[in-house]
Amino acid sequence: MQFLRKRWRAVLIFALSTLMLSGCGKIVVLNPQGPVATEELHLITWSFGLMMIVVVAVFALFAFMLIKYRAKKGSKIDYQPEQEGNRLLETVWTVVPILIIIALIIPTIKTTYALVKPPSTGTPVVIKAVSANWKWMFQYPGQGIETVNYVVIPANRPIEFQLDAIGPMNSLWIPALGGQEYSMPGMLMRLWLQADHPGTYVGRSANFSGRGFVHMVFNVIAKSPSDYATWVQKVKTTAPAMTMADYQKLTAQNVVHTMTFSHYIKFFGPRNNSMNALYRAPNS
Amino acid sequence: MLHSLLQLGDKYFMWNEGPMIWTSDVLIVLTSLGIIGVLTYLKRWNWLWKEWLTTVDHKKIGIMYIIAAFAMFFRGGMDGLIIRAQLAVPNNQFLNAEHYDQVFTTHGTIMILFMAMPFIIGLMNIAVPLQIGARDVAFPYLNALSFWLFFFAALLFNISFVIGGSPDAGWTSYAPLAGPFYDTGVGENYYLISLQITGIGTIATGINFLVTILKMRAPGMTLMKMPMFTWSILVTSIIIIFAFPVLTVTLALLMFDRLFGAQFFSVTHGGLPMMWANLFWIWGHPEVYIVILPAFGVFSEVVSTFSHKRLFGYKAMVVSMVAIAILSFTTWVHHFFTMGAGASVNSFFSFSTMLIAVPTGVKMFNWLFTMYKGRIQFTTSMLWALAFIPNFLIGGLTGVMLAVAPADYQYHNSYFLVAHFHYVLIAGTVFGVFSGLYYWWPKMFGHILNEKIGKWAFWIFMISFNMTFMPMYFLGLMGMTRRMYTYPAGLGWGPLNMIETIGALGMGLGFVVMVYDIVYSIRHPEKDLTGDPWDGRTLEWSIPSPAPEYNFAVIPEVKGIDAYWMMKHPKGQEPEPTKAVDKSKIRPIHMPNNSYRPFIISVAFFVAGFGFIWQWYWLGIPGLIVVVIGLFLRSFEYDDEHFISTEEIVQTETAAGRL
Ligand code: HEM
Ligand SMILES: [Cu+2]
Ligand SMILES: [Cu+2]
């Protein structure tokens, strides 16, 4: 008997740990790779913990009521059909949730304000992320280069993504590094992210934007500062400059592979009509 | 000749889209012919017209709402199954992106506006007048108009599938994606115009029930003595009256953009696409409470009835519902925390959203304590209500987690969100309407639904529901976003998706078993001869089942909460005769006449809507003119009522054993 139980425990522990190892490794939001995602995870676990208090309380009460007060034939359970309320109890379940909410809203507000600031003190890298009809263009104003459908960042430095859009709204989401922000035509938005280590992380558009939306996936490649500098240099010297033909292809509605440019053309057309853009002269 | 015919077929009927469309075409034609054939064979046309299509009786209108809601549940459910089939395995090519986008759009729109709404309005039609001791709603003619507007709007929305193409910008229909530039074709017009038509009906329903509840209660029934379901409908009606006009305006603005080249939501010419998101959710968040509060009302009735005990904390229940109604207008930004409104705005809306959890929690505990020291009886109706408690709790608490703005940056638009709103909408609204259906069915049809089959349906549906939606929380945290038509292998999303698809099949099976229960119970009815099969507490159980046309032969006198329970269990006095009707008090009853006009006006709306969708103004404008003529004629109709004679009432009541 004892033996059996022990064995079951071993099986249970084994099952749980494999689940944790295999499953949770893939739960990207629970495995943050940067300070922003880490801070958000703190809030997630904190709110989850607070909610578990409620779950335990309600589930326990629920089970108690169902077991104790189910109608049984001939039983003389305590039956009080006219009981209609209880001040004390009602106060308790009004006040306790309010306390829980206070415990939740304080860190929420703190983090909300914290996330509009750079996540660390390093010099930020500015990358303009433009969602353009089912593709992501990443422009590096400081370096003058552009990547399409992938982005390279230095690890351990704050990245300031400036979000812009040609065409419908999308949302830039790199769950390993932090939460998302919408990219909207004609309204520049800012999203601070940072990677702790070199590595490759998946990003995608989280907001539906039409048929090609699923293909708005990109890799975020975080490199060590020196590797990053080398990469920028290499792009500048070896990648082609963007031509007008490239520009037209990029602003049109289509799905493209990854691309790299040593020089990019700034967007100059009206933002919801990539076709109209073709009829105007570039101003760069 | 043949060639140009085929081209027309491609343009209007999408014959180039392949077997799915052809099959639907054939099925639709066959079903229509079948219905026409059966009606003709059974010589039922006259009956259909006289008893149903022209009726203004709230009970019949309620039944028609529920039948239509079931049909829409089937349609929306098929969409859901198609979605799950596509997502069952990675890299699936069962549907392409275009079709997938249409399917999730129609799924969401139908489930909320053409399934949940009519189901709830159906139940309130059936129960509210009976609960307050009234003979009909305040405006029976308007009520019929509401129903037919909904009905033809639903029809209009559904025919987009075979004529012209379904909308494909999501049920939220965000601009500029849904604007004329990115969404050419008529699909989106179908969305705008059919929602507009059903919305008009819903506003009318809101006004109708507000007036009914405020003005037509039986003597003695003060507001604080009303049954809790009626309270929930009162509050819901008020939310409808404030929220739905926003939808009307929002839809109209986008319609101007699409049909007449306005620029309200365009990106060029100073349009404001973000305005769509704001307007949509200023309606949309209250809307989720419009579909949940009536379900809360049902649970209050059912839990109290089957615990054979008074509702715990009546006053707190009312206050918390009013609080929810007010707060529901202050939280809309939580649907786009990630739109850059700034830290202070996000903080405010985080807080206001979390606040809603307090009154919701109060209600939760009140239901739990209604069972305390009660005698819980596990009927099918009660099972749905009980299952609501833990399942909805999960949905509500993950709602609070979503309200934490910075955390929402990680959940937003992911499957975590999809899991949340299905846990509240299915475990709340759907469990609620099912519970209400089993509860009031005897009052509607005079017989009880089979409990054994009903319980099978319940367990299958409830377990499958968890199997379908619980894994979605994890998929969201794994980075899977909503509205993806396919996903690559290697991310570890496959197994969970497969489990969900199996769960979805289970829910489909549960639905089928429930329909079977209905068919079985109609063929082998277990008659409810007492009118009070559950030992009920409120006035609807004091009259025969099914309720006679005039509901109450004599309007009852109300002495407290749970009026009928008090009649059955009087304190200290002689038990009042609970069933028998006092013959001396019977007077001729004043009832509204049937009218064919709501039906005709709605048909005209349908035609006009169809015309506007295709921008055929030669059709749309005459359609609207017919509508106006209908309204005009109604204004000059003076003879629209009749009396039911005392003899007839005596006869009916005697047949029901009440005299
Ligand atoms: C405790 C109460 C609730 C809270 C705190 C809550 C919170 C939220 C939040 C913050 C969101 C937005 C999340 C996001 O987009 O990232 C959301 C979405 C949603 N909620 Fe709730 N919610 C609650 C109850 C309900 C109820 C009762 C319903 C309906 C019966 C509901 C239906 C929905 C729907 C349909 C959506 C999303 C729709 C969409 O984007 O398509 N929620 N909820
Ligand atoms: Cu914006
Ligand atoms: Cu909301």
CA separation for the pair B186, B13 (Å, rounded): 12
- Number of other CB atoms surrounding residue A142 within 10 Å: 11
Instruction: Please give the helix or strand (H or E) that residue A221 lies within, else none.
Output: strand A217-223
CA angle at residue B374 from B370 to B379, to 5 degrees?
Answer: 90
Q: Is the pLDDT assigned to residue A275 strictly greater than 50?
A: no
What integer pLDDT is reported at residue A90 of this predicted model?
93
What integer pLDDT is reported at residue B25 of this predicted model?
79
End-to-end Cα separation, chain A, in angstroms: 81
Whether B85 is covered by a domain: the verdict is yes
Whether B144 is covered by a domain: the verdict is yes
What integer pLDDT is reported at residue A13 of this predicted model?
57
Q: Left (φ > 0), alpha (ψ -120 to 50) or beta: where does A118 sit?
A: beta
Greater confidence (B655 vs A278) lies with: B655
Q: Compute the average pLDDT of residues A68-74.
A: 81
B293 by Cβ neighbours in 10 Å (0-12 / 13-18 / 19+) ranks as buried
Give the residue ranges of DSSP H helices in chain A: 2-18, 25-26, 35-68, 87-114, 225-238, 244-251, 274-277
Q: pLDDT tens for residues A177-204? A: 999 999 998 788 999 999 999 999 999 9
Count up the domains in chain B and report the number. 1
How many Å lie between the centroid of ligand 2 and the Cα of residue B274? 6
Residue B299 contacts residue B438 (beta carbons within 8 Å): no
Which tokens hold the place of A16? 């749980």
Q: Is the pLDDT assigned to residue B564 strictly greater than 60?
A: yes
- Looking at the fold, whether A143 and A258 belong to one and the same domain comes out as yes
What integer pLDDT is reported at residue B578 of this predicted model?
62
What integer pLDDT is reported at residue B264 of this predicted model?
92
Whether B5 is covered by a domain: the verdict is no
Q: Is the pLDDT assigned to residue A8 strictly greater than 60?
A: no
Ligand 1, atom 19: nearest CA belongs to which residue? B421
Whether A38 is covered by a domain: the verdict is yes
Could you please report the per-residue DSSP string of B345-397? HHHHHHHHHHHHHHHHHHHHHHHHHHHTTS-B---HHHHHHHHHHHHHHHHHH
Q: Is the pLDDT assigned to residue A56 strictly greater than 80?
A: yes
Q: pLDDT tens for residues B627-640? A: 999 999 999 988 88
Which one of B96, B318, B345, B481 makes the best mutation probe of the A interface by having the most chain A beta carbons within 10 Å? Answer: B481
Greater confidence (B352 vs B176) lies with: B352
- Strand, helix or coil at A104? helix
Q: Is the pLDDT assigned to residue A165 strictly greater than 50?
A: yes
Which of A21-25, A215-219, B163-167 is modeled with the greatest confidence?
Answer: A215-219
- Looking at the fold, whether A257 and A134 belong to one and the same domain comes out as yes
Chain A residue numbers with beta carbons less than 8 Å from the beta carbon of B361 are 54, 93-94, 97
CA separation for the pair B176, B271 (Å, rounded): 9
What integer pLDDT is reported at residue A9 of this predicted model?
57
| Residue A154: half-sphere exposure toward Cβ, Cα within 13 Å | 19
- Looking at the fold, whether A42 and A129 belong to one and the same domain comes out as no
- Looking at the fold, whether A62 and A93 belong to one and the same domain comes out as yes
What integer pLDDT is reported at residue B594 of this predicted model?
94
Q: Do the chains contact at A210 and B406, CB–CB below 8 Å? A: no
How many Å lie between the centroid of ligand 1 and the Cα of residue B539? 35
CA separation for the pair B138, B217 (Å, rounded): 11
- Looking at the fold, whether A134 and A179 belong to one and the same domain comes out as yes
What integer pLDDT is reported at residue B639 of this predicted model?
83
Confidence band of B385 (pLDDT split at 50, 70, 90): very high
Chain B residue numbers with beta carbons less than 8 Å from the beta carbon of A272 are 176, 179, 181-182, 266-268
What are residue B485's phi and psi, to 5 degrees? -85, -20
What integer pLDDT is reported at residue A74 of this predicted model?
65
Q: Which of B636, B627, B634 is nearest to B603 (CA)?
A: B627
Measure A233 CA to nearest chain B CA, in Å.
Answer: 33
B25, B27, B31, B32 alpha-carbon torsion, rounded to 10°: 10
Whether B18 is covered by a domain: the verdict is no
CA separation for the pair B385, B587 (Å, rounded): 40
Strand stretches in B436-507, DSSP E:
447-448
Q: Which of B397, B314, B332, B307 is nearest to B360 (CA)?
A: B397
Confidence band of B576 (pLDDT split at 50, 70, 90): low
- What CATH number is associated with residue B340? 1.20.210.10
- Looking at the fold, whether A130 and A62 belong to one and the same domain comes out as no
Q: Is the pLDDT assigned to residue A3 strictly greater than 50?
A: no
Which tokens hold the place of B184? 């050419």
CA separation for the pair B641, B350 (Å, rounded): 52
What are residue B361's phi and psi, to 5 degrees? -65, -40
Whether B26 is covered by a domain: the verdict is no
What integer pLDDT is reported at residue B23 of this predicted model?
81
Give me the residues of A, 118-177, that contact B with CB < 8 A.
Answer: 167-169, 171, 173, 175
Residue B131 contacts residue B538 (beta carbons within 8 Å): yes
A91 by Cβ neighbours in 10 Å (0-12 / 13-18 / 19+) ranks as exposed
Whether B201 is covered by a domain: the verdict is yes
CA separation for the pair A230, A232 (Å, rounded): 6
What integer pLDDT is reported at residue A15 of this predicted model?
53
- Looking at the fold, whether A108 and A202 belong to one and the same domain comes out as no
Residue B204 contacts residue B145 (beta carbons within 8 Å): yes
Q: pLDDT tens for residues A225-249? A: 999 999 999 999 999 999 999 988 8
What integer pLDDT is reported at residue A271 of this predicted model?
54
- Name the residue range of residue A172's domain: 125-265
How many Å lie between the centroid of ligand 1 and the Cα of residue A28? 23
What integer pLDDT is reported at residue A272 of this predicted model?
47
Express as a percent the part of chain A with pLDDT over 90.
Answer: 69
CA angle at residue B83 from B79 to B84, to 5 degrees?
Answer: 120
Residue B136 contacts residue B61 (beta carbons within 8 Å): no
| Ligand 1 atom with the shortest distance to the CA of B172 | 41
Adjacency order of strands within the sheet including A178-183: A150-154, A217-223, A199-205, A170-174, A178-183
Which of A8-22, A159-173, A270-284 is modeled with the greatest confidence?
Answer: A159-173
Q: Compute the average pLDDT of residues B452-464.
A: 97
Q: Compute the average pLDDT of residues B440-448.
A: 96
Chain A residue numbers with beta carbons less than 8 Å from the beta carbon of B414 are 206
Could you please report the per-residue DSSP string of B135-179? SS-S-HHHHHHHHHHHHHHHHHHHHTTTTT----STTTT-TTTTS
B612 to A204, B150, B169, B385, B617: CA distances (angstroms)? 38, 18, 19, 43, 6
B347 to A36, A180, B285, B338: CA distances (angstroms)? 17, 17, 18, 12
What integer pLDDT is reported at residue B341 of this predicted model?
87
Q: pLDDT tens for residues B24-65? A: 778 888 888 888 888 888 888 999 999 999 999 999 999 999
- For B268, the closest of A80, A98, A272 (CB atoms) is A272
Whether A259 is covered by a domain: the verdict is yes
Q: Left (φ > 0), alpha (ψ -120 to 50) or beta: where does B554 sit?
A: beta
Which one of A220, A254, A272 makes the best mutation probe of the B interface by having the most chain B beta carbons within 10 Å? Answer: A272
A22 by Cβ neighbours in 10 Å (0-12 / 13-18 / 19+) ranks as exposed
Whether B608 is covered by a domain: the verdict is no
What integer pLDDT is reported at residue B544 of this predicted model?
93
- For B343, the closest of A27, A85, A113 (CB atoms) is A113
Measure B624 CA to nearest chain A CA, in Å.
Answer: 33
- Looking at the fold, whether A109 and A213 belong to one and the same domain comes out as no
Q: Do the chains contact at B98 and A173, CB–CB below 8 Å? A: no
Q: Compute the average pLDDT of residues A122-131.
A: 94
- For B406, the closest of A59, A108, A186 (CB atoms) is A108
Ligand 1, atom 29: nearest CA belongs to which residue? B288
Residue B478 contacts residue B492 (beta carbons within 8 Å): yes
What integer pLDDT is reported at residue B435 of this predicted model?
98
Whether A1 is covered by a domain: the verdict is no
What integer pLDDT is reported at residue A129 of this predicted model?
95
Domain end, chosen from A101, A117, A133, is at: A117
A14 and B CB contact within 8 Å? no
- Looking at the fold, whether A153 and A101 belong to one and the same domain comes out as no
CA nearest to B484 within chain A: A214
Please list every protein residue whose CB sits less than 6 Å from any atom of ligand 1: B 172, 288, 291-292, 334-335, 353, 356-357, 360, 396, 399-400, 402-403, 408, 411-412, 417, 420-421, 424-425, 428-429
- Strand, helix or coil at A153? strand
| Ligand 1 atom with the shortest distance to the CA of B411 | 16
Confidence band of B582 (pLDDT split at 50, 70, 90): confident
What integer pLDDT is reported at residue A156 of this predicted model?
94
- Looking at the fold, whether A132 and A236 belong to one and the same domain comes out as yes
> Which of the 8 DSSP states describes residue B540?
G
Beta bridge partners of A189: A163
How many Å lie between the centroid of ligand 2 and the Cα of residue B273? 7
CA separation for the pair B113, B6 (Å, rounded): 35
B485 and A CB contact within 8 Å? yes
Q: Do the chains contact at A204 and B479, CB–CB below 8 Å? A: yes
Q: Is the pLDDT assigned to residue B497 strictly greater than 90?
A: yes
Chain B residue numbers with beta carbons less than 8 Å from the beta carbon of A58 are 364-365, 368, 389-390, 393
CA nearest to A208 within chain B: B483
B523 and A CB contact within 8 Å? no
- Looking at the fold, whether A197 and A240 belong to one and the same domain comes out as yes
Q: Is the pLDDT assigned to residue A7 strictly greater than 60?
A: no
Q: Is the pLDDT assigned to residue A130 strictly greater than 70?
A: yes
Whether B241 is covered by a domain: the verdict is yes
Q: Is the pLDDT assigned to residue B502 strictly greater than 90?
A: yes
- Strand, helix or coil at B642? strand
Residue B464 contacts residue B504 (beta carbons within 8 Å): yes
| Ligand 1 atom with the shortest distance to the CA of B429 | 30
- What CATH number is associated with residue A191? 2.60.40.420
What integer pLDDT is reported at residue A75 of this predicted model?
64
> Which of the 8 DSSP states describes residue B481?
B
Q: Which of B381, B232, B236, B359 is nearest to B304 (CA)?
A: B381
Count up the domains in chain A and report the number. 2
Residues making up chain A, counted from first to last = 284
Whether A45 is covered by a domain: the verdict is yes
- Name the residue range of residue B333's domain: 44-595+640-655
Q: Which residue has the tokens 């801070």?
A: A39
- Looking at the fold, whether A95 and A148 belong to one and the same domain comes out as no
